[in-house]
Amino acid sequence: MRRLIAVLVASLLALVVATGPAAAHAKLESMSPADGSTMAAPPTQVVLTFNEPVGSTGAEVQVKSPSGNNVSTGDVQVIDNKVTQPVGAMIEAGKYTVDARIVSADGHPITVSAGFTVTHAGHAPGSVVTNQPSTTQGNSNVVVIVAMVLVMLVVVALAIVIVRRRPAAQ
C-alpha cells in the first residue's frame, strides 16, 4: 500500500511540476519595425516575436496607415514564436499603427497595440511583396498537458484495480 501511495504522489508531483511553465502566458518580446521607431523606407512586413510559441488559430494582425486604411496583405504567418504579417501599399508618410490579437499556446488571447513612423512614402499597391510559406506551430504544450492527464488517469485506475484485487488481510 505504501508503494501505491508513493507512486501516486510521485505521479501527481510530476504532473504539477511539468505544467508550471506551460501555464504561463506568452508575452511580446519584440516587434520589427520596433514600437515608436522612425524609418525612411517602409517595411514589407511586420514581425512580432513572443517569448514562447503561439497558436495560429485566430491570429489577426492589422497595420493601419495614417489615414486609417488597413495595409495588411495576405495571411498572417505563424512559425513557432514569430508572427509575420506582410504589408502592401504604404504610400503615405506618417504614423502606422499595428493592432494584433494572437492566441498563446495556453489558449489566452494576447493583444498588441504599437506603432512606427514612415518619413517617406514607399511601395505602391502594385509592388511585389514576398511571402514566406505558411507554417503553423500547433499547441504542443496543450497536447503534453492532455497526455499527462491521461497518463495520470490510467495510473489512478490501475491503482484502484490493484487495491481491489488484493485479498483482505486475515
The widest CA-to-CA distance across the chain, in whole angstroms, is 91
In sequence order, the 6+-apart residues with CB closer than 8 A to the CB of 51 are 26, 27, 28, 29, 81
Give the 3-state secondary structure of residue 72.
strand
User: How far apart (Å, rounded) are the C-alpha atoms in residues 85 and 47?
Assistant: 6
pLDDT of residue 103: 87
Mean pLDDT lowest among 66-70, 124-128, 149-153, 156-160: 124-128
Q: Which residue has the higher pLDDT, 99 or 144?
A: 99
Residue range 156-168, pLDDT digits in tens: 888 788 878 877 6
Architecture of domain 2-165: Sandwich (2.60)
C-alpha cell at 87: 504589408
In sequence order, the 6+-apart residues with CB closer than 8 A to the CB of 3 are none
In the chain, where the domains are located: 2-165
Do 142 and 107 meet the contact criterion of CB atoms below 8 Å apart? yes
Q: Which residue has the higher pLDDT, 18 or 8?
A: 8
Residue range 53-75, pLDDT digits in tens: 888 888 899 999 999 999 999 89
Which of 70, 125, 73, 115 lies closest to 94, judged by CA? 115
> Which amino acid type is present at position 40?
A
